[in-house]
A and B are shown apart, each in its own frame.
Chain A
Amino acid sequence: MQQIDHDSSGKLKLGPGALYGAIKQLREENFIEELPFEDERERRRYYRLTRKGLNRLNAELEYYQDTIRLAQERNLLDHATGTLKWTA
């Protein structure tokens, strides 16, 4: 949860309900899997990307990379700040 806060610069604030709803969906689509746990009393569960999840992540990153490249080719980005040059 702290990681999500940090990565989104505090813009994305999830509660436990939304977080586990997302985890459930990712598990159902086989993008992540639960790591085996040794102690039954341990409440914390850990998840990792599956091969399908990794492929999907790569595809998403490629898509964003292509979008950024296109924006740079069209000279839409300010190279110094990495933000849009103009707004509507």
Chain B
Amino acid sequence: MDRISRRFPRYSALLRLYPARYRKEYGEQMLQTLADMLDDPEQRKFSVWARTALDLPFSIIRQQITYTGVAMTTTPNYMKYAAHIGAWMLTPFFAIIIINSFSHQWLQRTVLWHPAFLLTWIVALPLIAAALNAAALLRWAYIQRRQNHVAPLYTLADLRRSWLALVITVAGIGIFSVALWHDSVHCVTGNPIRELHNPHQTLHCIQQR
């Protein structure tokens, strides 16, 4: 740690939240600028720290998003397609749940409550979305290992490129897992999502049917 970093240890530590490339390019200049601002007799120290504290989180988020966007341009196209298709497949589930949360019992009065439709939007689509994105991730990990000798876990941990596929995979599996409980929960509450806390009661309910 050099002199100026020692002067602002907390600010210096917070700069680590910026993307590494940005930090390498501008980190030291930012420290120097802060030092210059604080050393300026015309500036009030409190005002300098206040604007720096307000500015920092927005700036970090903005740069993280920017650099993630740049990284996404190097994401393989098949992963982008998988994520795109997967996102559309998950959309009905989230749209229906949101609409239903505004209008109680709306879902049960529509055709979407019919078993065939239920099976589609709550089981099939999320499962296909998850499988598609998991397959894309595995393919990417396999290719990286074969061509660049990168360990699969290391490839998957490259979140700047893999985050979207990972999110959709986890969401798809999550929805499917909830759907496994669907009939039992519905048996008790009439709501597939809201309550999952009493498996004994739901099992009993199913056995009674």
Q: Which residues of A contact B (CB under 8 A)?
A: 1-2, 13-21, 23-24, 43-45
Q: Is the interface of B mostly helix, strand, loop or mixed?
A: helix
Q: Using A2-B43, A15-B51, A21-B62 as known contacts, say yes or no to A45 and B56 having CB atoms under 8 A apart.
A: no
Q: Which residues of B contact A (CB under 8 A)?
A: 4, 22, 25-26, 28-34, 36-37, 40, 42-43, 47, 51-56, 58-60, 62-63
Contacts of A44 in B (CB 8 A): 29, 32
Bound CA span A15–B43, Å: 13
Contacts of A20 in B (CB 8 A): 26, 29-30, 33, 59
Contact pick for A24, options B22, B55, B60, CB 8 Å? B22
Q: Using A15-B51, A15-B55, A21-B63 as known contacts, say yes or no to A2 and B29 having CB atoms under 8 A apart.
A: no
Bound CA span A24–B70, Å: 14
- Smallest CB-CB separation from B33: which chain A residue? A16
Instruction: Establish whether residues A43 and B32, one from each chain, have CB atoms under 8 Å apart when the complex forms.
Output: yes
Instruction: Establish whether residues B36 and A1, one from each chain, have CB atoms under 8 Å apart when the complex forms.
Output: yes
The CB with the most chain A CB atoms within 10 A, among B40, B43, B59, B63, is that of B59
Q: Using A1-B37, A2-B43, A24-B25 as known contacts, say yes or no to A18 and B30 having CB atoms under 8 A apart.
A: no
Contacts of B34 in A (CB 8 A): 16
Contact pick for A17, options B32, B37, B42, B59, CB 8 Å? B59
